[in-house]
Amino acid sequence: MSEMIKDTDDQAVIGEELDTKVTHSYDDSDIQVLDGLEAVRKRPGMYIASTSEKGLHHLVWEIVDNGIDEAMAGYATTVSVNVDTDNVVTVIDDGRGMPTGMNEKTGKSTIETIFTVLHAGGKFGGGAYKVSGGLHGVGASVVNALSEWMEVSVYHDGKEYFIRFENGGHPTEPLKVIAECDKDKHGTKVRFKADPTIFTETTVYSFETLRDRLRQLAFLNKGIRLEFTDERQEDESKKHHVFLFEGGLREYVQYLNKNRTAVHPDIIYSEGHENGIQVEVACQYNDGYNPNIYTFCNNINTAEGGTHEEGFRLALNRVINKYAKENNFLKGKDDNLTTDDCKEGITAVISVKHPDPQYEGQTKTKLGNTEVRKVVSTIFGTQLERFLMENPDQAKMIIEKATLASQARIAAKKAREATRRKNPLEIGSLPGKLADCSSKDASICEIYIVEGDSAGGSAKQGRDSHYQAILPLRGKILNVEKARQTRAFENAEIRSMITAFGCGVLEETDTSKLRYNKIVIMTDADVDGAHIRILLLTFFYRYLRPIIEQGYVYIAQPPLYKVQKGNTVRYAYTEPQMDRLRAEMGDRLAIQRYKGLGEMNPEQLWETTMNPKNRTLIRVNLNDAELADQYFSIMMGEEVEPRKNFIVENAKFAELDI
C-alpha cells in the first residue's frame, strides 16, 4: 500500500515514527499518530490521486476493497455500499469482523490503530492481492484523515463494538462494546462523511461512477455479492442494485457484447494459477472490426495494457495459427495470420491477481511483471486450444473471421504497393488544407477541426494564427466503427488528422509528439454537427485513445443565439441562458438564432467561440473505457432501440456536455 505515496522520503519518516512508538508514552504516540494524519490532511495530493471528484470516490474504493479482501479470503459473501441523502457512505461486509483486541505496539485497539496509523493496514494483514501500486489502496487511515467523521462497527460473538473519529481522524473514545447483537451476526461496518474542507470541488458522489465500478468489481470477483443502495435517487427502481456474477468474466464479456452481433455462440473462458499469480480470461468474437480488450491487475484497470495482455496476444496468435494449419484452413504456402488478424472484432477481458505488481507507462497503468506474460500465455493458450478442438463449428467461424481480416490486409497492402503510395503513417508533409499556426510550442498550440469549408474559412480569418491552427474537414468523416483499418488509413480526412497531429496512431500513439495540446472539435450546434462530433470522437477513441485519456480533446461551444439591444450584443450558448438574457435585457430585442458556424463572420466566430477570454471549451473525458466502448458501439451501431435507451439513461454522457 505504501507505493501510493509519491514522496518516498516522507514515507520513510512516517515509518520510523511508527517503529519507535512502543518506547514512548501513550501521549507521545498520540501526538505522532495525529501528526501522521495531519500530514495527510495538509498534503492530501500525496496520498490520493486528487481532491477532485475522482479522489472523493477513491475513499469509497479503499473501504470497499477491504471488504472485498475479506470476501476473497472466503469469509464474507456480501459487500454493500449505501449513499444517503447527505452523501454519507456506509460500507458493510459480512465477514469475520475486524479483530477487536489490543495492539501491543500502540497500546490501542487494533481497530483504532488501523484507522489512525498510516499504512497500518499493510502491516496488520490484508489479503495477498491487496490493491496496491499507486492507483488506490491508500489505507483506511487516509480515508479517516480525510473524513469529517468516521464510525466503525464490528459485530461478532454477540457483541457490537464501536468507535467514532472526528475532525480528520481523532477518536472520540476508545473502542468499546455498545450493544449485544445476534450471536450469529458477524461483519464490519464503516461509515464516513468526506470532509468538504478537503474535497472543496465536491462531496457529492456520482451514482453512475459508483454503480458501474461496483458492477465491474462483481464481474472481476466472481461469486461475491455487491449491493448498492443510493438513497438520493427519487426513482425507486434506481435505488437498489445487486451485482453477483457466478460466471465472472464470462458474464462480463456477455455484458460487453450485448449490443453487438456475436460471431460464435459460446464464450471462450480460462482460469488458473501459477506461482501465486491468478489468471482469468474470457473472450468472444463479434462481427465488428475493432478489438475491445480490457485488462486488469488486482481489480485495477491497466489501461495501457502490459505483460498480461502480451501473454494473451501471444497465445491467441500461436493457437489460432496452429489450429488453422492442422485443420487445413491455412495451406503450407499461406502466410501466417498476424496477431491483428486474430484480434479483429474480439471482445476480451483479462484479469490477473498478483501479490507484487509493478506498474509502468505514462500513467502507471501498464503491468510490467515479466513473468506474467508466460503464465497468461500458458493458461489461456491451453484453454483456447481445447475450446477450438471441442467446438469445431465455432472454431471454423473464428478462423474464417481471422482469414477474412488477413485477406483484407494483404489486398490493401498490394493495392498500396501498386500505387507506390507511402504508408500513411510515414507521410512527412502536412496536409494542404491545414492552416497551421506559426508557433511550434505544442503547449500553447491549438488545432480546430472544423466542419465544412465556409466555417473553415471564417475560422481561418478569425483565429489568432500565432497559436491556432485550422483543419477544415469536408462532409462526414468515415465511421471507423464499421470500417477496417486499411480503409480508415485510405480516408483523406483521417490521414490529414493523423499527419497534422504528428503523434502517430494506434499502439504507436505518443502524446509527447503531439503538435497541439488542444485538439478542438468545432461543429454546428445541430444534429448533423453532433453526428460529425461523434464520428470524430469514435476515430480518436479507436485510433488515438491516449489523446482522449490524457485530456487533449475539447469540444467548442458555439453560441445558439445572438441577442442585440441598441449597441449591446450578447450571446447565449444554451436555452436556459437565453431565457435569462431575455429576463435581464427586457423587450425589443433583436434575436438571431445561429443555424451553423458558417453564419458567423470571422470576428463573431473569434469573439464567441475561439477567443480564450470568452469561449467555453468542454474537455472530453472518457476515462471509463468500458462505458465509452458501449457508447460508441451503441451510437454507431445499427440497432435503434438500445441507442434510444442509452441516450435516455446517459443523457449527460451521450451529449458529452460533461
Under the rule (CB under 6 A), what is the footprint of ligand 0R9? 63, 66-67, 70, 91-93, 95-99, 110, 114, 121, 124-126, 188, 190
Q: How far is the CB of 160 from ligand 0R9 (least distance, A)?
A: 14
524 is catalytic: yes
Q: How far is the CB of 67 from ligand 0R9 (least distance, A)?
A: 4
Residue 395 CA to residue 35 CA, distance in Å, equals 62
157 is catalytic: no
Active-site residue, selected from the candidate residues 526, 639, 655, 657: 526
Q: How far is the CB of 113 from ligand 0R9 (least distance, A)?
A: 8
Q: In this chain, which residue has its C-beta nearest to ligand 0R9?
A: 125
Q: Nearer Cβ to ligand 0R9, position 77 or 358? A: 77
Q: Nearer Cβ to ligand 0R9, position 14 or 190? A: 190
| Own/partner long-range contacts of 327-330 (Cβ < 8 Å, ≥24 apart) | 327/392, 327/395, 327/399, 329/396, 329/399, 329/400, 329/403, 330/403
Task: Give the β-pairing of 446-451 and 518-522.
Answer: parallel
Greatest Cα pair distance in the chain: 84
Q: Is the distance from CB of 480 to CB of 284 less than 8 angstroms?
A: no
Please give the grid coordinates belonging to residue 439. Answer: 508557433
Q: How far is the CB of 76 from ligand 0R9 (least distance, A)?
A: 7
Q: How far is the CB of 156 from ligand 0R9 (least distance, A)?
A: 9
- Closest to 250 (Cα-Cα) out of 287, 273, 289, 280: 280
Q: Is the distance from CB of 377 to CB of 315 less than 8 angstroms?
A: yes
Q: Nearer Cβ to ligand 0R9, position 47 or 61? A: 61
Task: Give the β-pairing of 468-473 and 446-451.
Answer: parallel
User: Three-class SS string for 145-158?
Assistant: HCEEEEEEEEEECC
Partnered with residue 228 across adjacent β-strands are 81, 241
Q: How far is the CB of 66 from ligand 0R9 (least distance, A)?
A: 3
Q: Is the distance from CB of 592 to CB of 561 less than 8 angstroms?
A: yes
Active-site residue, selected from the candidate residues 230, 524, 607, 629: 524
The residue assigned the cell 442494485 is 241
Contacts of 293 (CB under 8 A, 6+ apart): 305, 309, 312, 343, 346, 347, 348, 349, 350
C-alpha torsion angle, residues 647, 652, 655, 658 (rounded to 10) = -160
Q: Nearer Cβ to ligand 0R9, position 142 or 547? A: 142
19 is catalytic: no
Partnered with residue 518 across adjacent β-strands are 446
Q: How many helices (H) and strands (E) does the chain have?
A: 23, 24
Task: Give the β-pairing of 568-572 and 561-565.
Answer: antiparallel
Active-site residue, selected from the candidate residues 335, 390, 528, 603: 528
3-state secondary structure of 352: strand
451 is catalytic: yes
Specify burial of residue 458 (Cβ count, 10 A radius: 0-12, 13-18, 19+): buried
Q: Nearer Cβ to ligand 0R9, position 99 or 158? A: 99
Q: How far is the CB of 140 from ligand 0R9 (least distance, A)?
A: 6
Active-site residue, selected from the candidate residues 70, 151, 451, 481: 451
Show the beta-strand stretches assigned E in 316-382. 346-353, 359-360, 366-367
Q: How far is the CB of 125 from ligand 0R9 (least distance, A)?
A: 3
User: CB count, 10 Å around CB of 630?
Assistant: 22
Q: How far is the CB of 86 from ligand 0R9 (least distance, A)?
A: 19
Q: What residues are labeled active site? A: 451, 524, 526, 528
